[in-house]
Structure 1
Amino acid sequence: MNKGHILIVDDDPDVLHTARLVLKRHYETVITESSPVRLETIIKREPIDIVLLDMNFKAGATSGNEGLFWLNKIKELRPEVYVIMNTAYGDIQLAVETMKLGAVDFLVKPWEKEKLLSTVNTVYQLAKSNEKVKKLEGRESALNKDIDAGYGHLLTESKAMDHVLTMIDKVAKTDASVLILGENGTGKELIAREIHRKSQRNKETLIKVDLGALPESLFESELFGHTKGSFTDAKEDRPGRFEIADGGTLFLDEIGNISIPMQSKMLSVLQNRTVTRVGSSRSVPIDVRLISATNQPLYEMIETGSFRQDLLYRINTVEIELPPLRDRKEDILLLANHFLKSYAERYQKIGLKIEERAKKQLLNYPWPGNIRELQHAIERAVIMSDGTVSAEDVLPNRKEKITSSQSLKVEDVERNAMVKAIEKSGGNLSQAAEELGIGRTTLYRKMKKYGL
C-alpha cells in the first residue's frame, strides 16, 4: 500500500468505478470526481500526487480542449502534481500537445486494468523520486550555509561539565525536546550537535536556524516554506527548515528572541507536527527532533508576558544549563591550546607555545564572552605573536584610561563601562548589571551587540 493520493476526474461513472476498484488496493487515498469544476477545491485541500484527467466532459465533445484547459489549471495551482491524460480518442497530435503543457503520460480508453495500474505506479515512483531530490537539494542548500562555520568537538576536563555530559548521554537516546540554556559563547551549538551525533537520527541531518538573525518578515517562509507566487520573490516552491530537517534534528538557536505572534505559529507546528507552507492550505506532516537554545531568561520573560509558557513546555522536556567558562577553570588552558594549534596551522605559525605569564592571565581573566571570547583572543594572539605567545598578545591591557584621544562616542563609552563593570564583578553578570544600573536581560542584549 503506497501513501499516494490519486484523483480521478472523468464524466463516465463506469470509468470512475473501475479505476477506483483497481487503484484503492494500492494507494492510501483514491478520490473520484465526475465534474472538473470541483477540481480546484480538491487540489487546494488534498495532498494530491497524481491526477488522472479526462480530455472531454461535454456530450459529443472530441477536441480535448476541456482537458487542456484543466491541465493548465492544475499546473497553475500545483506545478508538482503529475497529470495523466485519459481519453477515448487516441490522437497522437493531441497526446504531444498535452505533454508540451505538462502532462506526464497519456492513456487511451478503453484501457486494460493492468495498463492503468502500471502507468499510475510508474508515475507515482517518478513523483516520489523527484520529491526526494527536491528535499535533498533543500537540505544541501541549508548545509552549504553552515559548511564554513568550523564546528569543533566538545572538549572538557571540568567537573562542572560532568552533569552536562551525563545529561547528553541520557537524552541523546530519546526523541525528547531539549532546551539548552547558557550565556553567550558557552558552546550551546556544540552541545546540540553532540546530542544529535549520539542520537538514533545521526545518519540524518542537523539543520540549524539562527532565530535571532531571522527577520520577522521571513520567519514563516524560512521555517515553514512557501509556494510559488505566494509573495514577490517566491519564484518557485521551496520547503522550509522543518521539512528539510524531516527525519533528523532541527536546532533552533536564540529561540528567546522571537516575537509573541511567531511564538504562536511555532507552537501550532509543534503541537500538530505539521507545517503549512506560505501560500498553501495543505498541511505537510513532519518528523523532527527539536533542540532549542537561548541565553535569555525565559522564566522571567514568561512573568513579563514576552514568552509563552505553553511554548516553553513544548521545547523543554529536558533542560541542559551550560556553566560559564569562569566556572570551568580546568578547561581554559585545554581550550586555549586547542585554539592555538588550530590557528597556528591556519596562519602557518607551527610550534607556538603560550608563556607561563600568559597562562596565569588566561586563568585569572573572568571571560565574560566565554569560549567565543577565548577563541577570538587566541586567534588575535597567534596573528600578533612572533614566537612565544605572551600575555600582551593574549589579553592586551583592558584597563583603559580616559584620555583626550579616547573615543567619546556613546557606543564606545557604553562598551567600556560594561567591560569595566564585568571585570569589577569578577564576571558575575547580575552584579555587573546592578553596577551599571540596568537589568540583566538588557546587559545580555548589549553584550551580544558589542561582541562581549
Structure 2
Amino acid sequence: MAELINRVLVVEDNETMRLGLVESLKRGGYNVAAFDNGPDAVKHFHANKEPAAVVDLKMEPMDGVQILEEIKKINPKTEVIMISAYGSIEIAVKAMQLGAFDFLTKPFSPEELRLRVKRVFEKIADEQKIESLIEQNKILSEELKTGYGEMIGTSESMKQIFSLIEQIADKQSAVLIQGESGTGKELVARAIHEKSKRSQNPFIKINCGALNDNLLESELFGHERGAFTGAVKSKKGRFELADKGTLFLDEIGDISQVMQVKLLRVLQEGEFERVGGEETLSTDVRIICATNRDLQKLMMEGKFREDLYYRLSVIPINLPPLRERKDDVVVLTEHFLKKVALKNCIPAKKINNEGIKLLMEYPWPGNIRELENLIERLSVISAGKEIDAALIASHLGKAVNAANGYDNLSLEDAVHVFEKNLIVEAMKKAGGVKNRAAKILGINTSVLYYKLEKYGLL
C-alpha cells in the first residue's frame, strides 16, 4: 500500500539531473516514474495519476508550466514541485498561481528535495484525514438523536452529555452546568426543560452577572409599586413567572454574598416576598444554574456559600471546551453554514479541506459561539460559493505564508485580531469575570459585552 501511496512523477530532460532526482527520491522510499519530455510524461500521468510530481521548468516541446497545467486538468489533487536553474520571484509566483505546491532553484541538495516531497505527502495525509473525518461526521450526524434543539456533536464527550440529559430530564433535582463561555450551557438547560414533564410550562432565564444587587433582586423576586424610585407599578419576578416550569440562572458565580443568602432562602423554603411587599409568595420551579467560574474554588476562598453550592449542584454537568472536542468542528461548521443560509435566504456556502484544517487547528477561546459567529460573518462577506482558506485564516488571525498563496492581513483584519486577542487575554486574567476584565481593558462593562458579542466570545 505504501508503494502505491508514495508515488512520484519526475519530468527532467537533463539525463544526469534526472538520474540524480530518481536516485535521491528512491533513497527516501518513494516509487518513481521518470520521463525526459512532457508529452510522454502526460500520457503516463493520464493512466497513473501520481499524487506528487517534480517537474523541470525549461524543456521542449512542452515546458514545465504547460506540464503543470495538464497535470492539474487531469487530477487537481496532484501536488507539483517546480524546479529550475533560472530561479526568480516572478517565476516562483507564476508557478504558485498556476497551482504549484513549491518551487526549487537548482542546484539543491538531495536532502532538500526529499524534505519538500515529504511536505507534499504530509499535506496529502492531512487532507485524507479531514476527508475521512468529514465523511464520518456525515454518517454520525444522521445517527444523532433529535430533540436537543441546536445541540450538535458526535464526539464521545457530547454523547455522554446527551445521555445524561435523558437520565435527569424528568427529575426535579437542581442542575449546575459548568463550562467556559460559549460552550452551550443555555442549550443544555433548554434541552433538560424540553425533555422534562415541565416542558409545557415556562422556561425563564436571567443573566445574574449582568445586574447589580438591587436590579437582580427586583428581577428575581419582583417588586411592588413604589418600592423604589421608578417603580410605578407592581411587577412579577422570574420566580413567579417560572412557576411550574424551569428557572435558568446564568452566571450564578457572579452574584454577591448578600444575594446568595436571599437565593438560598427561596431554595430552602420555596417562599419569597417581592421587593417592598409584605405578602409571602410560594413558587414551584426547577432550578438550573450555569457558570464559567470554578464554584468550588470560590467556596474554598469564602466567596461562595457552601450550603448554596450544594443546593445548586445536586446534578453537575461539565461541558467540554471546543478545543477538547475537535471532532465536532466539522459537523458544527456544516450546521452553521446551513443555518446562516436559511436565515439570509441564500445558498449554503462550502468550505474546502484546507479551510476545514484551519478551523480544526484553531483553539477556539470563544468556543461554539465564536465558531458560529465566524461562520455567519464569512458566509455573508464571501463573494463566491466557497469560503476560501485565505479568508478564514485572516479572520482567525493566522499568519499564513505567502508561498501558500495567501495574502498578508489587511489593516482592518489586523485590528480585528489584535482587539479580539486583547479581550481573550483580559478575560483569562479576570477568571471570566466581565466587570474585572473591563477594568483591565479600561472600558465600560457595557462596551465589553458589546465586543464579546461582536467577536462571538460572550
TM over 0.5: yes
Q: Distance in 1 between matches of 2:212 and 2:149?
A: 28
Provide the TM-score with structure 2 as the length reference: 0.57
CA shift, 1:282, in A, is 1.5
Question: Where does residue 343 of structure 1 map in the other structure?
Answer: 340
Name the counterpart of 1:359.
356
CA distance in structure 2 between the aligned counterparts of 1:407 and 1:371, rounded to whole angstroms: 21
Residue by residue, what CA displacement relative to the aligned partner does 1:318-370 show, whole Å, maximum 9, x if unpaired?
Answer: 00000111111221111111111111232333142111211111111111110
Counterpart CA distance in 2 for 1:365 and 1:205 is 38
Maintained 8 Å contact 1:378/1:394: no
Greater shift, 243-252 or 154-163, is seen at 154-163
Measured in 2, the distance between the counterparts of 1:339 and 1:412 equals 22
Return the match for 2:421 from 416, 419, 443: 416
Which of residues 390, 393, 405 is equivalent to 2:391? Answer: 393
Distance 1:350 1:208 in 2: 34
Checking the alignment, whether the CA contact within 8 Å between 2:183 and 2:368 is kept in structure 1 is yes
Partner of 2:3: none
Cα pair distance change 1:330/1:396, threshold 3 Å: same
Q: In 1, Cα distance between the equivalents of 2:414 and 2:351?
A: 35
Does 2:160 match 1:155? no
Structure 1's 413 and 330: CA in aligned 2 closer, same or farther, altered over 3 A?
A: closer
Partner of 2:307: 310
Q: Would the aligned equivalents of 1:254 and 1:293 in 2 still touch at CA under 8 Å? A: yes
2:289 maps to 292
- Confirm whether residue 244 of structure 1 aligns to residue 241 of structure 2: yes
Among 365, 368, 383, the residue aligned to 1:371? 368
> What do the CA deviations read for 1:288-308 (whole angstroms, capped 9, x no partner)?
000000001111111222111
Q: 2:268: which partner in 1?
A: 271
> In the TM superposition, what are the counterparts of 1:30-49 in structure 2 within 5 Å?
none
Gaps of at least 5 residues in structure 1 are 1-150, 423-428
In structure 2, the gaps of 5 or more residues are 1-147, 401-408, 439-447
Q: Contact between 1:297 and 1:441, CA under 8 Å: does it hold in 2?
A: no
Q: 1:418 offset after TM fit, Å?
A: 6.5
Q: CA deviation at 1:209?
A: 0.7
Question: Cα offset for 1:415?
Answer: 5.1
Q: Find the aligned partners of 2:154 and 2:351 in 1 and give their Cα distance.
A: 19
Alignment CA distance shift 1:445-1:384 (3 Å): farther
Q: CA deviation at 1:220?
A: 1.4
Matched, 1:383 2:396: no
Offset from partner CA, 1:45-75 (integer Å, 9 cap, x none): xxxxxxxxxxxxxxxxxxxxxxxxxxxxxxx
Paired letter, 1:195: I
Q: Equivalents in 2 of 1:382, 1:407: separation in Å?
A: 16
Compare 350-359 and 371-380 and name the one that shifted more. Answer: 350-359
Q: Deviations over 1:242-281 (max 9, x none)?
A: 0110000000001011111111111111111011011112
What does residue 179 of structure 2 align with? Answer: 182
Shift of 1:399: 4.5
How well do the aligned residues superpose, as a CA RMSD in angstroms? 3.2
Alignment match, 1:195:
192
SS at match of 1:250: strand
Distance 1:346 1:367 in 2: 24
- Structure 1 vs Structure 2: percent identity of aligned residues? 43
8 Å Cα contact 1:177-1:315 kept in structure 2: yes
Deviation of 1:416 (Å): 3.4
Offset of residue 202 of structure 1: 0.7
Deviations 1:72-105, CA, capped at 9 Å, x for gaps: xxxxxxxxxxxxxxxxxxxxxxxxxxxxxxxxxx
Alpha-carbon distance change, 391 to 400 in structure 1, aligned in 2, over 3 angstroms: closer
Q: 1:217 to 1:395 in 2, by over 3 A?
A: farther
Q: Is the 8 A contact 1:227 1:238 kept in 2?
A: yes
Contact 1:160–1:327 (CA under 8 A) maintained in structure 2: no
Distance in 2 (CA, whole Å) between partners of 1:165 and 1:262 is 32
Provide the secondary structure at the position in 2 that maps to 1:396.
helix
Aligned AA for 1:393? L
Which amino acid in 2 is paired with 1:320? I
8 Å CA contact 2:337, 2:348 repeated in 1: no
Check whether the contact 1:205–1:249 (CA below 8 A) recurs between aligned residues: yes
Q: Secondary structure at the match of 1:300?
A: helix
> Does the aligned pair in 2 maintain the 1:245–1:288 contact within 8 Å?
yes
Write the letter of the residue equivalent to 2:175: V
* Distance in 1, Cα, partners of 2:336 & 2:414: 34
In the TM superposition, residue 442 of structure 1 has moved relative to its aligned partner by: 6.3
Aligned-residue offset at 1:228: 1.4
TM-score, reference length from structure 1: 0.58
Does the 8 A contact of 1:171 with 1:195 survive in 2?
yes
The C-alpha deviation readout for 1:381-414, integer Å capped at 9, x for no partner, is: 101111211123334251579x9x89999x9978
- 1:446 deviates by 3.7
What residue number does 2:6 align with? none
Measured against aligned partners, the alpha-carbon deviations of 1:105-157 in whole angstroms (never above 9, x if no partner) come to: xxxxxxxxxxxxxxxxxxxxxxxxxxxxxxxxxxxxxxxxxxxxxx9521111
Give, in whole Å, the separation in 2 of the partners of 1:331 and 1:394: 18
Q: Give, in whole Å, the separation in 1 of the partners of 2:246 and 2:432.
A: 29
Instruction: Report the AA paired with residue 188 of structure 2.
Output: I
The amino acid of 2:222's aligned partner reads G
1:204 aligns with 2:209: no
